[in-house]
């Protein structure tokens, strides 16, 4: 099954953005925990 390039690119772009958002979300949670514990 061959996937058109633009669809594949959009998929990877969405995945990449999702990973960045997930990491940012985790960093925010860590910061909140650090502030909470101090």
- pTM, full prediction: 0.51
Side-chain-side CA neighbours of 27 within 13 Å: the count stands at: 6
Q: Which two tokens stand for residue 4?
A: 């058109």
Q: At 18, is the pLDDT very low, low, confident or very high (cuts 50, 70, 90)?
A: very high
Percent with pLDDT over 90 in the chain: 32
Here the tokens at position 33 are 């925990």
State the average pLDDT over residues 23-33.
Answer: 88
Residue 5: pLDDT band with limits 50, 70, 90: low
Residue bearing tokens 């925010």: 28
The whole-number average pLDDT for the span 15-21 is 92
Residue 36: pLDDT over 80 = no
Pairwise CA distance, residues 5 & 13, whole Å: 12
Cβ-Cβ contacts under 8 Å for 12 (sequence gap 6 or more): none
């Amino acid at each position: 099954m061959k996937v058109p390039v633009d669809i594949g690119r959009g998929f990877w772009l969405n995945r990449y953005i999702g990973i960045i958002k997930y990491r940012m979300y985790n960093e925010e949670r860590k910061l909140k925990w650090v502030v909470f514990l101090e």
